[in-house]
Chain A
Amino acid sequence: MINVHNLSVNHGHLKIIKEISFSVGKGEIVSIVGANGAGKSTLLGGIAGIYPPASGSIRMEDEELAMKNSVAIVCKGITLVPERRQIFDGLTVEDNLILGSYHRYSKEKKQCLQDLEMVYDYFPKLATMKSRLGGLLSGGEQQMLAIGRGLMAKPKLLMLDEPSLGLAPLIVRDIMNILVQLRNETGTSILLVEQNIKAALSISDRGFVLERGSIVLEGEAESLLQNQSVRDAYLGTSPSLQK
C-alpha cells in the first residue's frame, strides 16, 4: 500500500536517514525498531511531511507523497501519533478527539461523530472522561487519547512513534492488543516505531532494525525475535552479560 524507496531525510547538514526502502501492505503491522538516535522518529517525521525528505520517494496507491506538506499527508490518509503523545492538554478529551478529524470535519461531520463513538468503543476508558482536560490524564490514558485522536483522521496508514514510552508493562500490553484488534477490524495498516522491541515485534507481521539511519536487518517479526544478533544487541540476552 505504501512504498518507500531510497528515502533520505536530513536535519540541517546531517544525513539522518540514508536511502531507506521498505513497504507496508494493506492491513499489515510493521515495526521499525532500534536504539536511541537510530533515526526512527526522523523517518516517521519524513513520511508525515514534518521533515521534508532530501531525496527518494514515498508512494501510496500510485501517488507520490514525498514532497507534500504535513497537512496534505493527513488528507491522503497517513496519520502520525507523535512521540510523547503531544495531546492538547488544555482541551477536553472529547475536543482532543474531535479535532483529530479536522481535515474532514467540515465535509463529513456526521461521519466524524460516528467515528467518535467507534473510538470510544476501542477505548472505553476515554468514554468515561469525555469532559476531563487532556493534561489531567495519566500517561496511559494520554497515549490512548493520542491514538484515538489519530484514528479520528480515518487513516489508511497509522504511524505510531514510541507508544510504549514511559508506560507500565500491563498498559503497554493493552495498547498493543488494541492495535491488533484495530487492524483486524478495520484493515488499517500500522507502522510502529519502538524501543520496546519485544512488545512491538510480538504484534507485528514484519520488522526492520534501524541503525544509524540504515536498515541493517529485516524479516518476519517472529524470526527477528529469534535472531541472535537482535537478541544480543537489544533484548539483553547477550552471553557476555549473562556471565
Chain B
Amino acid sequence: MESLSQLMQLLFSGLTIGSIYALIAIGFVITYNITGVLNFAQGEFAMLGALLTISLSSAGLPLYLAVILAILIVMLVGGFFERAAIYPARKSSVATLIIITIGISFVFRGAAIFIWGTQPHSLTPFSGNSPIRIFEAVLLPQSLWAVGISLAALAGMYYFFNKTYTGKAVTACVMNRFAAQLMGIKPEKMSFLSISLSAGLGALAGIIIAPISGASYQMGLMLGMKAFIAAVIGGLTNAPAAVLGAFLIGIIEAFSEGYLSSGYKDAVSFAVLLLVLFFMPNGLFSKKSGKRV
C-alpha cells in the first residue's frame, strides 16, 4: 500500500508541474509557428506574472483582480517586446533572433532583481491549504487549480485557433504565410498577437505555480527550459503534442525525484531531450505526412 500511495503522490505532482510546463510550451509553439522564432524569454513571462501578482495582491488588490491585471500587464510587456526587439529584426537570421530573445531574457531577469530583489517571494494558495486525500496520497488544492486552469486555458486556445475568425486567420498565416498576405492578413500583426498571447499564457503558468514553489527572479529560466524540452518532444510545431510532452516531462521529473534523487530530476529531463533529438528529431509524436502538390 505504501508503494501505491507514493506512486499516486508522484503522479499528482508530475501532473501539476506538467500542466505548468504545458502552458509555457504552448507559448513556445505558438510563437515558433507564427514568427519562426524560438523565444527563450518565454520562461521570464512566467516569472513576471508570478512576481507581479504577488506585488499587486500585497498592495491590497483581491487575488483574482491581481491575477487578471498581472496577466494583462505581462501581455503588454510581451507585445512591447515583440515591437521593440523582434519586429525591427524580423528580416535577420534565425540565430540572430534567438540571441535577441536570450538577451531580452537577461533584461527581464535583471529588471526583476531591481524591482523584487533576489529573495524568493510567496503567494497564498488560491483556496486554502488543507490537503485532499485520494488513494492514500495527499493532494493540495493548488494542484487541482493548476491542472484545472491549465486545461481550461488549453481548451480556450483550441477554441480561439479553430473556431474564431481571428484565430483562423492566425492559423492560416501559419499554414501559408504567402497566401495569407494575398488575403490582406498582416503577418506582422499576427506576430504581435501571438507573442502577447504566449506571454499571457506564460504569466498564467507562473501565477499558478507561485503558491506551490514560490516565486523569484530566477524561476523563469528553468521553467522555460523544461517547457522548451516539452515543445521539442512534441515536435515544436504541434500544440497538442507539446502538451503531451509537457505532462510526460512533468511525470518523468516527479518520478526521478521520488525514486532516484531530487538532484537528478533536471539531468533526467535534459537526458530525455538529448535522446529525443538523437533518435526522433521531429518529435515523439511525428508521423509521416503527405502533401498534394
Contacts and interface: CB of A to CB of B under 8 A. Distances in A.
Check if A and B associate. yes
B183 A48 contact: no
Query: Looking at chain B, what size class is its interface with the partner chain?
Result: 10 to 19
Nearest to A79: B182
B206 to A, nearest CB: 31
B179 A88 contact: yes
B159 to A, nearest CB: 14
B292 interface: yes
Interface in A43-86: 48, 50, 70-71, 74-75, 79-80, 82, 84, 86
Interface in A72-111: 74-75, 79-80, 82, 84, 86-91, 95, 98-100, 102-103, 105
B179 A87 contact: yes
B185 A82 contact: no
B183 A90 contact: no
B182 A75 contact: no
B168 A70 contact: no
B185 A99 contact: yes
A75 B175 CA distance: 22
A126 interface: no
Contact of B168 (A84, A99, A136, A153): A99
Given A102-B169, A135-B292, A91 B175 contact: yes
B184 interface: yes
Contacts of B292: 89, 135-136, 139, 142
Main secondary structure of the interface of B (DSSP, over half): helix
A149 interface: yes
Interface string A141-160: 01000000100010000000
B183 A103 contact: yes
A50 B176 CA distance: 14
Contact of A88 (B175, B181, B291, B293): B175
A99 B182 contact: no
B181 A86 contact: no
A75 B185 CA distance: 11
A71 B183 CA distance: 7
B172 interface: yes
A70 B293 contact: no
Interface string B165-177: 1001101100110
B178 interface: yes
B182 A80 contact: yes
A139 B292 CA distance: 8
A102 B181 contact: no
A1 to B, nearest CB: 20
Contacts of B179: 82, 86-88
Given A87-B176, A89-B292, A105-B165, 8 more contacts: A70-B181, A74-B184, A89-B291, A99-B172, A103-B183, A139-B292, A153-B184, A166-B293
Interface of B: 165, 168-169, 171-172, 175-176, 178-186, 291-293
8 contacts: A82-B178, A82-B182, A84-B293, A86-B179, A103-B184, A135-B291, A139-B292, A166-B293
Nearest 3 CB-CB pairings of A with B: A103-B184, A86-B179, A74-B184
